[in-house]
Structure 1
Amino acid sequence: MPSASSDVSDVSDSGDPVPSSLWRDRDFRRLWLGQTASQLGEHTGLVVIPLFAVLALDASASQLGALRAMGQAPILLLSLFVGAWVDRWRTRTVMVLTDAGRTFALGAAAVAGLFGLLGLPALFVLAFTVGTLSVFFDVAYQTSLVRLAHRDQLIRGNSALEGSRSAAQIGGPALGGALVSLLSAPIAVASSALFFALSFLSIRRIRRTESTPERPEHPEHQERPERPSRVWRRIHEGLRFVVGDPALRAVCLASAAFQFFFAAVMTVYLLFLPRELHLSGTTVGLALAATGPGALLGSVLAARLPHRFGYGPVLVTAAALGDGVFLCVPALHGSSAVTVAALLAVGFVFGAGGQLVNVAVMAVRQTVTPDGLQGRVAATITFVGMGLSPLGSLLGGFLAEEWGVRTGLLVTAAGMMLSPVVMALSPLARLGRTLPAAR
């Protein structure tokens, strides 16, 4: 692994916040700013596209489920190949190209919307395109910090990057909901494109030269495409490593359970808020944005709690509280101030618990994984953990249409509790205050 730049000094593995030496690193700041902008674009788009389908095109429950599944399908189809590919290229290059692609795709969609051409078929194409590019960006971004910082700075670096995601969760949904409700879908789509353009401009300024593990040694091979057999072999190496590591194997199973039912929950939730509770687009955006402040708190706590209580207890407790709070939502009725306050509280608790889990799990993965496998392991966990999301979205749409929105929400929220149960019964629950080294 390349060492961090000279202005990034080693720090002890304590519970302190991100050390100032890490923030003084210009390349880390550029990565942080680019990640923040990218997450703002993504979280704005995650609200804009479904809300436009529900409010402007009167999409049915099954259509909304299919639309969300279309955006999530690239995770299932491409994650493993992307991981094998990213391990052989500079993460900066991958992130810059995907930001440019998402900017162009959303900009084209905004123009199409201005001419009245942004119907359901166009939304399906847009969701799949942006989802595909996001798979590349997410795998590269999860690998990039390992190449910029020392291993004993990973938990703090991840806390900072996840904090930027928290800020995006605060601003993105609220902005997206307000723009769809007050202005128009094309303008809302254009706002996402602008955020990806800002991410492009920031990340392309990263100057540190990265090592690219396992690149071909002979110049004559560098221009040739990699043989399929070699790609599959590299994918198999990532899969074998994850399956052979008890902690990573448990991460995959818990993540798969959570992501499947969370995709189902969100499909029903996006129907429940405007149609059952009769909330406006702006209020829906605010309810979704409530996860942001909670996630921001979770990012801060993630730099401290695991070192005080142990990674295992923090993971299990945070997952149980964060996932379990959604069981309260089906009991809500009407659009009163009490209902809105309850939704904000649910989002806050869910965001805090989820962020604690995200930061701790990412630290576990990065710490136990050798440098040359970082991209493939990240992609494998993404593939297993989020690969079932399209099926979860379809299930949510089916349950809402067949059983009713309220019942569907209760069933899918109960399903999310499977994830903390898996964690509690796995080696993750026994992790202490320090993490094992890469094997």
Structure 2
Amino acid sequence: MPATLDSSIDRLPSGFNRLAGSNLAAQSAEQIALAAMPMVAVLTLHANASTASWLQVALTLPFVMFAIPVGMLADRWPKRTLMAGAEAVRAVALFVVAGLLLAGHLNLTALSVLGFVAVCGTVVFSVAAPALVPSLVPPMMLSRANGRIELARTVAFACGPAIGGALIGWTGAMTAFVLAAALSVGAAALLTGVPSPAAAARRATHPLRDIAEGTRFVFHHPLLRPVFITQCLFTMSFFMVLAVFVPYAAHRLGLSAQAIGLTLGMYGAGMVIGALLAARILARWRFGHVVATGPVCGLAGGALLAATLWQPWPALAHAGFFMLGCGPILWVVSTTTLRQTVTPPALLARVSAVNVMSYGARPVGAALAAWLAAQAGTGACLLMALAGFALQLLCILQSPAVRLARQPSPDDADTALNPA
């Protein structure tokens, strides 16, 4: 990538910059709400580790249920309209949670249902935004643009849990949900300045045929298929950790709500560092080596968290979450760029939806953690997650994706498999 592209952030089009700002607001809303919900469940509604894990299942099911249909809609309808509508729905759901808290009527069932609705907004944004980026920036700026998108997301990951924990500790949970809802409203407003190209004209087909076309492209592609499988394994393992970490940190590590938020925020801090370095690393390293960095750091982070079973030091948990953020953000930037360059534009939203379907491993990991926590305790969950992190690294190391010398071109991805 030319050095001039690395050095001039203002060369990215204004429409893209508004999308990045909207993404920052939307991701911040998501992270504050997702941090607040399990804390409220454990500290206010007195949920145990198994019950908290089932809450995580409810907060992840929308990725399984709606990612593919949303991808089909995003290839047919204006993406900006879908994203703005989804943010409005999320804002309403979060305002209702705040209202129930204020009235003293919030329970675990209501929290799970409203959390499920709020996460539907995340699904729409996660599918439509990556598919919109290539229409806003030229191909050779995709890595930098994806880095900007991920930097906005990482700021949210870094600040969201810490803000959520601080607000719950200082002013109560209602303030956290009101702030998250207001950020969703801001995200929808910022989208009004983003160009929204019309969907490509194509012959009307049955929705199931549209869905099958995107799915078939991913699973028949030699580069995208192993990336998808690795993503599933990482996500399942990571959400096994997330499902039990709040009660584990409160009871085993003795952390307060603010300290738990700070610990979870180290994941975002790692993502910020990774996102800031992403453009330079992609310019200097072989593309495939950048792809492999995320799974390597995932295994290292899982090992550090598992080490707290023997040494319950908060610093180990801080380092573990930092590693789980720093390396995988390079994975997200590199594999999103890979997906955008090898996928035909008319298929991109559906292919992005298949990638988001890997988030379907979230409820699988959370449900497995709920069962395992009830049977063998939270320590067994951390060890099982560590095994999953090891498996995802083995998977990607067997893939041709790690042998890519450079970012593939839209016309010929196969040439990048050979050394430059």
TM-score by length of 1: 0.89
In the alignment, structure 1 residue 351 sits paired with structure 2 residue 338: no
Query: Is it true that 1:390 corresponds to 2:363 in the alignment?
Result: yes
Aligned counterpart for 2:197 among listed residues 205, 210, 222 = 210
Structure 2 match to 1:75? 63
Partner of 1:297: 273
Other structure's SS at 2:263 match: helix
Question: Retained in 2: the 8 A contact 1:295–1:355?
Answer: yes
* 1:400 aligned residue: 373
Hey, what does 1:421 align to over in structure 2? 394
Deviation at 1:156, TM superposition (A): 0.2
The one-letter amino acid paired with 1:405 is: T
Q: Secondary structure at the match of 2:137?
A: coil
- Give the partner amino acid of 1:329: L
Aligned residue type for 1:214 = A
Please report the RMSD computed on the Cα atoms of aligned residues, expressed in angstroms. Answer: 2.0
Between the aligned partners of 2:364 and 2:2, the Cα distance in structure 1 is: 40
Counterpart for residue 216 of structure 2: 240
Whole-angstrom CA distance in 2 between matches of 1:358 and 1:417: 18
Tell me what 1:7 maps to. none
Corresponding residue for residue 268 of structure 1: 244
Q: 2 CA distance for matches of 1:267 and 1:431? A: 35
Q: Structure 2: which amino acid aligns with 1:55?
A: L
Contact 2:167–2:175, Cα closer than 8 Å, also in 1: yes
In structure 2, what is the equivalent of residue 8 of structure 1? none
Q: CA offset at residue 387 of structure 1?
A: 1.5
8 Å Cα contact 2:301/2:322 also seen in 1: no
Cα deviation code 1:337-389 (max 9, x no counterpart)? xx333332222222110111111111111111111111000001211x12222
User: Is the CA contact (8 Å cut-off) linking 2:158 and 2:269 kept in structure 1?
Assistant: yes
Q: In structure 2, what is the equivalent of residue 288 of structure 1? A: 264
Distance 1:215 1:189, change over 3 A: farther
**Residue 199 and residue 231 in structure 1: after superposition, are their counterparts in 2 closer, same or farther (change >3 A)?**
same
Structure 2 counterpart SS, 1:253: helix
**Correspondence list, 1:29-428, <5 A:** 29-206=17-194, 208-214=195-201, 230-332=206-308, 339-383=313-357, 385-428=358-401
Query: Higher mean Cα deviation, 346-355 or 300-309?
Result: 300-309
Which residue type is aligned with residue 347 of structure 1? Answer: F
Q: Can you list the C-alpha shifts for 1:311-353, whole angstroms capped at 9, x where unaligned?
A: 21222233212332221223337999xx333332222222110
Q: 1:130 to 1:345 in 2, by over 3 A?
A: same
What's the offset of the Cα at 1:300? 2.4
Alpha-carbon distance in 2 for matches of 1:273, 1:158 = 33
CA distance in structure 2 between the partners assigned to 1:348 and 1:71 by the alignment = 23
Q: 1:128 to 1:26 in 2, by over 3 A?
A: same
**CA distance in structure 1 between the partners assigned to 2:330 and 2:162 by the alignment:** 22
Task: Identify unmatched segments of 5+ residues in structure 2.
Answer: 413-420
CA contact (8 A) 1:51 1:281 kept: yes
Q: Distance in 2 between matches of 1:21 and 1:283?
A: 37
Counterpart amino acid of residue 123 in structure 2: V
- Cα distance in 2 between the residues matched to 1:134 and 1:253: 21
CA distance in 1, matches of 2:101, 2:329: 35
Task: Classify 1:309/1:94 alpha carbon distance in 2 versus 1 (closer, same or farther; 3 Å).
Answer: same
SS in 2 for 1:204: helix
User: Aligned equivalents of 1:103 and 1:209: distance in 2?
Assistant: 22
Q: Which runs of 5+ in 1 are unaligned?
A: 1-11, 217-225
How far apart are the structure 1 equivalents of 2:241 and 2:93? 28
Q: Offset of 1:143 from its aligned partner?
A: 1.1
Tell me what 2:8 maps to: 19
Deviation at 1:15, TM superposition (A): 8.8
Aligned mates of 1:404, 1:48 — CA distance in 2 = 23
After superposition, the C-alpha distances for 1:164-196 in whole angstroms (9 at most, x for unaligned) are 111101110000111122222222111110111
CA distance in 2, matches of 1:438, 1:140: 23
Q: By percentage of residues, which structure has more helix? A: 2
Quote the offset at 1:246 in angstroms.
0.7
Is contact 1:170–1:291 with CA below 8 Å preserved after alignment?
yes
- Where 2:198 maps in the other structure, the secondary structure is coil
| Structure-1 separation of matches of 2:148 and 2:311 | 35
Displacement after TM superposition at 1:233 (Å): 0.8
Q: Does the CA contact (< 8 Å) of 2:5 and 2:141 recur in 1?
A: no
Instruction: Tell me how far 1:16 sits from its aligned partner.
Output: 5.0
Does the CA contact (< 8 Å) of 1:48 and 1:188 recur in 2? yes
8 Å CA contact 1:15–1:304 kept in 2: the answer is no
Instruction: Determine what percentage of the aligned residue pairs are the same residue.
Output: 31
Greater shift in the superposed pair: 248-257 or 313-322: 313-322
Matches of 2:210 and 2:148 in 1, distance apart?
Answer: 31
CA distance in 2, matches of 1:335, 1:108: 41
CA deviations over 1:188-228 (Å, ceiling 9, x no partner) = 1111101111111111232x241312367xxxxxxxxx8xx
Task: Output one character per residue of 1:90-126: Cα deviation in whole Å (capped at 9) or x when no partner.
Answer: 2211111111111111112111110011110111111
C-alpha separation in 2, matches of 1:102 and 1:408: 31
Q: Structure 2 CA distance, aligned partners of 1:99 and 1:215? A: 28
Asked whether the equivalents of residues 277 and 334 of structure 1 are also in contact (C-alpha less than 8 Å), the reply is no
Relative to structure 1, the CA distance from residue 39 to residue 436 in structure 2 (aligned partners, 3 Å threshold; closer, same or farther) is same
Partner letter of residue 368 of structure 1?
A: V
